[in-house]
Amino acid sequence: MKRLIMISTIAMTFGQLSACGGGLFEKGDSAPSNPPDVSGVPDAVPRVEKARAQNQKSYVVLGKRYYPMKSGLGYRKKGIASWYGKKFHGRKTATGETYDMYQMTAAHKTLPLPSYAEVVNLNNGRRIIVRVNDRGPFHHGRIIDLSYSAAKKLDIIGKGTGQVEVRAIDVANYNKPSPKPVVVAKPEPIEKPSLAAGYHTHESESHSHHHDTYGPALYLQVGTFSAIATAESFKSQLADHIEEPVFLMPLYRPQGALYRVRVGPLANVEASEVMAVRLKSLGVRDSHAIVE
């Protein structure tokens, strides 16, 4: 939640920037004193907007030069998201607009301004759409800075940061109807494979505790591990081969924690069946649907 403020002395140094800094001016930022319920704040609605020429020029922050993209088409990246709050509420963004922490906006170092992006929390599967109208964050390892409402809806306010995937939205084709997905044959009944030590395929779902602001969602559970390192390794390998979010859902028990690897959320049952077939082709035979 580190920001640069567009005032005359800073503008002389950073040009059009007002974005999140890496250790600059972050002291004193916080969530609202009496935070309202932002669960009903709608996602940003992607629409065609002309990129602003002043935001397409390269710029230097902390000795590093950044080159804004002319188009975000195809941009997709995983990394750490942070957020910024009331200290900057009402101040100017890099586009010259007023920052409103209750709107679904974000800052990015190189995506066109303005543009739109989908952000997925890789730890819980929640996803949002934001309008990118600022530059930053410049803290090492962070790829996007979210408004308070956006971070709240992804459930990263408490921790301050979260593991996310950011995907630029192709606005020109955003509202075009998608072709109906091909429905393939339902996968064969799940077989119980020979398991490595410490690996479990099923456990009581009555202990599941995933919460989703928007109600039940559909996931595929693809494995359960007693060692978090093994679970993380499996999750990372799987994420390299599919586009859908892959995340861990811990299950804490008196005899020790289990780490469930899940894919989703998925749009519907047909999509889950298609994904199950895809996973089977990758050698993941024991997947089953979870609705939470």
As for how many domains the chain has, the answer is 2
The one-letter amino acid at 80: I
Would the pLDDT of 5 be above 50? Answer: no
Q: Does residue 142 lie in a domain region?
A: yes
CA 249 vs. chain centroid, Å, equals 16
Q: Does residue 183 lie in a domain region?
A: no
Same domain, 137 and 209: no
CB 212 within 8 A of CB 273: no
Task: Quickly state the pLDDT bin for 34 (edges 50, 70, 90).
Answer: confident
Q: Does residue 191 lie in a domain region?
A: no
Give the mean model confidence (pLDDT) for residues 176-200: 43
Same domain, 126 and 232: no
Task: Quickly state the pLDDT bin for 255 (edges 50, 70, 90).
Answer: confident
* Mean pLDDT lowest among 2-11, 47-56, 84-93, 180-189: 2-11
* Mean pLDDT lowest among 170-184, 206-220, 226-240, 265-279: 206-220
Q: Does residue 187 lie in a domain region?
A: no
pTM strictly above 0.85: no
Residue-averaged pLDDT of the chain = 76
Would the pLDDT of 274 be above 80? Answer: yes
Task: Quickly state the pLDDT bin for 286 (edges 50, 70, 90).
Answer: confident
CATH number of the domain bearing residue 275: 3.30.70.1070
The pLDDT, as a whole number, for residue 3 is 44
Same domain, 57 and 149: yes
The pLDDT, as a whole number, for residue 190 is 36
Structure tokens at 77: 């990246």
Q: Does residue 164 lie in a domain region?
A: yes
User: Between 48 and 33, whose confidence is greater?
Assistant: 48
Query: Which domain does 54 fall in, by range?
Result: 8-173
The one-letter amino acid at 164: V
Structure tokens at 44: 């940003």
Task: Quickly state the pLDDT bin for 201 (edges 50, 70, 90).
Answer: very low
Structure tokens at 95: 């586009």
Q: Does residue 72 lie in a domain region?
A: yes
Would the pLDDT of 117 be above 90? Answer: yes
Q: H or E element: which one contains 61?
A: strand 59-61
Same domain, 154 and 48: yes
Same domain, 168 and 214: no
Q: How far is CA 243 from CA 35, 217, 239, in A?
A: 34, 18, 7
Would the pLDDT of 212 be above 60? Answer: no
The one-letter amino acid at 275: M
Length of the chain as a residue count: 292
* Mean pLDDT lowest among 82-91, 166-175, 236-245, 280-289: 82-91
Same domain, 59 and 147: yes
Would the pLDDT of 239 be above 80? Answer: yes
DSSP E strands: which ranges in 136-287? 142-146, 162-168, 199-200, 218-225, 246-251, 258-266
Give the mean model confidence (pLDDT) for residues 37-44: 90
3-state secondary structure (DSSP) of residue 92: strand
Same domain, 24 and 169: yes
Q: How far apart are CA 31 and CA 86, in angstroms?
A: 6
CATH number of the domain bearing residue 12: 2.40.40.10
Most confidently modeled range among 9-18, 116-125, 238-247: 116-125
Bridge pairing between strands 218-225 and 258-266 = antiparallel
